[in-house]
């Protein structure tokens, strides 16, 4: 039997500062399953996930809500940081996609990625790039289905780089 869909109840919008703490908590919760893969680097991962306000200074923190309750998040940066990435500085970047484990399987991640694609397109970016990890198989499969392609020369395993070409104005 399939689960009931909550897709009609989901809204995607720019996060409000008063939501940053809840977004940080749900992000850590979403990534916790990967703690064994991160090992001793896990505290640094948590620090990055909790840095919602810092991400909002340089990009748009999106939040997926059911009612007023945050259930997912992603950050879209209008340009890449040439000191931190190997891709073109005019590419937009998707970072920190997270969906609360209890809310997975309802298309929330896809909606957040679609919203990031739209933001990047609206900004005139020629591509939306992201990094994922080899062990994040569900996310990688979703990105592949959404038209993202691997960029073999832009990261080293276990980090994987992907990008989707955009057609501004489309």
- Which domains are assigned to the chain? 7-126 (3.40.630.30)
pLDDT at res. 120: 94
DSSP single-letter state for residue 91 = S
CA separation for the pair 43, 45 (Å, rounded)? 5
pLDDT at res. 3: 47
Task: Report the pLDDT averaged over residues 146-164.
Answer: 85
Length of the chain: 170
DSSP single-letter state for residue 67 = T
CA separation for the pair 93, 91 (Å, rounded)? 6
Per-residue model confidence as pLDDT tens digits over 84-116:
667 788 899 999 999 999 999 999 999 999 999
Cα distances from 28 to residues 31, 49, 77, 107, 151, in angstroms, run 5, 6, 20, 20, 27
Contact (CB, 8 A) for 148 and 164: yes
Confidence category of residue 159, pLDDT binned at 50, 70, 90 = confident
Say yes or no to pLDDT of 57 above 60.
Answer: yes
Q: Which of 28, 22, 30 minimizes the C-alpha distance to 136?
A: 30
């Amino acid at each position: 039997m399939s689960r009931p869909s909550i897709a009609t109840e989901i809204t995607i919008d720019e996060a409000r500062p008063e939501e940053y703490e809840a977004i940080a908590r749900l992000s850590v919760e979403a990534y916790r399953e990967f703690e064994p893969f991160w090992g001793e680097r896990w505290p640094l991962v948590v620090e990055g996930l909790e840095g919602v306000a810092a991400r909002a200074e340089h990009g748009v923190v999106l939040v997926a809500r059911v009612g007023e309750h945050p259930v997912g998040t992603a950050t879209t940066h209008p340009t890449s940081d040439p000191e931190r990435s190997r891709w073109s500085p005019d590419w937009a970047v998707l970072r920190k996609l997270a969906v609360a484990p209890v809310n997975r399987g309802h298309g929330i991640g896809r909606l957040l990625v679609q919203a990031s694609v739209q933001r990047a397109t609206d900004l005139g970016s020629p591509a939306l790039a992201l990094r994922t990890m080899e062990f994040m198989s569900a996310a990688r499969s979703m990105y592949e289905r959404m038209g993202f392609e691997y960029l073999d020369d832009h990261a080293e395993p276990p980090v994987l780089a992907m990008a989707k070409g955009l057609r501004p104005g489309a």
